[in-house]
Structure 1
Amino acid sequence: MKNILIPIDFSDNAMNALGYATKLFEASQCTFILLNVYVSQASNMLSEERNEAILNVMDDESEIELKKIFDSVVEANNNGLHTFKMVSKSGKIAPIINSMVASGSIDFVVMATKGAKGAREVFLGSNAVRVINGVDKCPIIVVPQNYQVRKPKMIAFSTNFKRTFYQEELRTLIDILKNQNAKLNVARVMIDDAMNDKQKNNREKLKKILEDIDHIFYKIDIESTETKALKDFAQQTDCDMIALIHHKFSLFQKLLEEDVVDKISFSSPIPLLILPELY
C-alpha cells in the first residue's frame, strides 16, 4: 500500500497533478491524501475573541472546500485499488509535509508547479521549491502546468558521476521504470569530456544497479547552462519524465554551482521526479 500526498490549493493545476498521480499508480494499491494547507495566524491588532472567530471561519472554509473536491474525486473514481483521504491543516506547507513524512504516513508527494494564481513566483517560487528543499527522505514528483497526463515510457536521469550511487536512493526510480515498463536514458551532464577514475567507478556501480533495466548512457554537451542542456536532451529523446537526485549543496557550493533541481522546476515541460539524497 502506497500513501501518496497531493497538495490541493483548489486550482486546476493541483487537480491535474492528482490526475497524473492516479494514472501513474493506477496498477498499485494506493491511498491518496488530499492536503490543503492554509495560513491561519492571529493578529495582534484584534481581540482574542475576534481572532478566534476569524480563525474558525478560515478552518471551516478550508474543510468545506476540500470536502467538495474530495467528494467529487471519490465519486469519479473507478479504480478499486485506490482510496482517498482529506487533511486540512494550518501552517507552512513544507514543515507540515515533512512532519507527515517523518511519521511514516507518506511514501510520495505529487504536486503541481503552479497554483491558483498561475504565477510561478507565487506558487513554485514558494510552495514547490520549499517542499523540494524542505522535505527530507521522500520522493517528490512535480507536474507542470497544463501537462497532458500520460504514463512515462522514457525517463531521463541526470548525473555527473561525482558521487557514488546507492540502491536505496534509486529504488523509487527503478520501481517506476519496472512498473511502467519504461526505458532509462542516463544523461552525463558535464563540461569535461573525460571522466576521472572516481567517476568511472561510480558509473560502473550505477551499471550494476541498473542491470535489470533497459538503459543507455549519453554524454550531453553544455552550450549555455546545465538546466537548458538537460531540458533539450529530454525533448530530443522524447522523454516523459526527468529524474534527479537532490544533493544537499553547502552554501558555498550553491553560490558557485547551478542548482538544477530548483531552476528546472520553473519551466520543465515534463514531470520531474526528485529523489532525496539519503547518504
Structure 2
Amino acid sequence: MRELLELKELAEACEVGANHNFQIILSSEDLKTAIKKSVNKLNIDMVIMGTKGATGAKEFFFGSNTIRIIKKLKLCPVLIIPEEYDFVTPTQIAFPTDYNRYYSNKELKPLRELANLYDSKIRIMHINTEEELNDTQEYNLEALKSYLNNYEYTLHWMPDYANKTTEINDFVEELKIDMLAMVNYKHSFIEKIINEPVIKKIGFQPNVPFLVIPE
C-alpha cells in the first residue's frame, strides 16, 4: 500500500492538469481478474501497463502479466509502455495492416481518439507481399480511408524483404514513429507474437508505446 501511495503522489506531482484524478484500487485477486473487474465496475476506457519483460530473461517478449492481459482483456484497449521509456508526444502513430481484414468504426475509435488528443499523424503501413491488392483488400482499404477521412494519414508500402517483425521495427525507426497501434483479432500478428514468447524467434521488441486494440 505504501508503494501505491508513493506512486499516486508522484503522479499528482506531475503537471497533468486539474482535470485529472488519481485513485488507488487495492485487490487481493490476481492481476488479470482485478483488472477485468475494475474495467467493468468503473467503465475504464483504457488500461495502461508498464513492462520490463520476463524476470531474469531479456530474450522474452514482455512480461507474463502483460501477455495475460493482452490475451484475456477484450473490454478496452491496452497501452503497453516499454521499460524506462521517457514520454514523447505521439505525433506519429503507426498502424500496420495487410488490408485482409475489415476494421469496424468502433475498433478504430481508440486510434482516432489518440490522434485527436495529440493532433497525431497516422502512418498506415502495408508490407508489399503482392503486386497489387485484391478486391477484398481494396474494399477494406477504402473503408479504412473513409473512417480516417478527417485525420492526417499517409499510406506506406514496405517491400517484403524480411519477416513482419523486422519490417515493423524498421518502419518505426525509419519514420521516427512515436507509437505503434494494432487490432488484436483471431490469427492477427499480435496473437502470433504473444503465443511465441522467445524474442530470438519472433524478433519483436518495440521500444515505443504499443496500443493493443481488442476486436
Normalising to structure 2: TM-score of the pair?
0.86
The residue that corresponds to 1:215 in the other structure is 153
- In structure 2, the CA distance between the partners of 1:218 and 1:261, relative to structure 1 (3 Å rule), is farther
Mapped contact 1:143–1:270 kept (Cα < 8 A): yes
Structure 1 residue 130 and structure 2 residue 63: aligned?
A: no
Structure 1 residue 106 and structure 2 residue 44: aligned?
A: yes
Mapped contact 1:139–1:275 kept (Cα < 8 A): yes
Per-residue Cα deviation, 1:54-75 (whole angstroms, up to 9, x for no partner): xxxxxxxxx2332233234334
5+ residue gaps, structure 1, are 1-62
1:248 CA displacement: 2.5
The residue that corresponds to 1:269 in the other structure is 207
CA separation in 2, counterparts of 1:265 and 1:133? 20
User: 112-121 or 174-183: which moved more?
Assistant: 112-121
The residue that corresponds to 1:180 in the other structure is 118
CA separation in 2, counterparts of 1:94 and 1:150? 28
The residue that corresponds to 2:163 in the other structure is 225
Aligned-pair identity in percent equals 29
Aligned-partner residue type, residue 68 of structure 1: E
1:260 CA displacement: 4.5
1:10-29 matches, within 5 Å, as: none
1:185-264 matches, within 5 Å, as: 185-249=123-187, 259-260=192-193
| RMSD (Å) for aligned C-alpha atoms | 2.8
Larger Cα-atom Rg: 1
User: 171-180 or 258-267: which moved more?
Assistant: 258-267
Per-residue Cα deviation, 1:192-244 (whole angstroms, up to 9, x for no partner): 23211001000000111010011111112232211110111111111101110
1:79 CA displacement: 1.9
CA separation in 2, counterparts of 1:140 and 1:170? 14
Per-residue Cα deviation, 1:60-103 (whole angstroms, up to 9, x for no partner): xxx23322332343345562111110012123212221222233
Per-residue Cα deviation, 1:118-156 (whole angstroms, up to 9, x for no partner): 755789230111111111121111111121211100111
1:7-86 matches, within 5 Å, as: 63-76=1-14, 79-86=17-24
The residue that corresponds to 2:90 in the other structure is 152
Higher relative contact order (CA 8 A, sep 6+): 2
Mapped contact 2:54–2:63 kept (Cα < 8 A): no
CA separation in 2, counterparts of 1:99 and 1:137? 11
5+ residue gaps, structure 2, are none
Q: SS at the partner of 2:157? A: strand
Alignment length, in residue pairs? 210
The residue that corresponds to 1:30 in the other structure is none
- In structure 2, the CA distance between the partners of 1:64 and 1:123, relative to structure 1 (3 Å rule), is farther
- In structure 2, the CA distance between the partners of 1:104 and 1:199, relative to structure 1 (3 Å rule), is farther
1:190 CA displacement: 5.0
Q: SS at the partner of 2:23? A: strand
- In structure 2, the CA distance between the partners of 1:237 and 1:89, relative to structure 1 (3 Å rule), is same
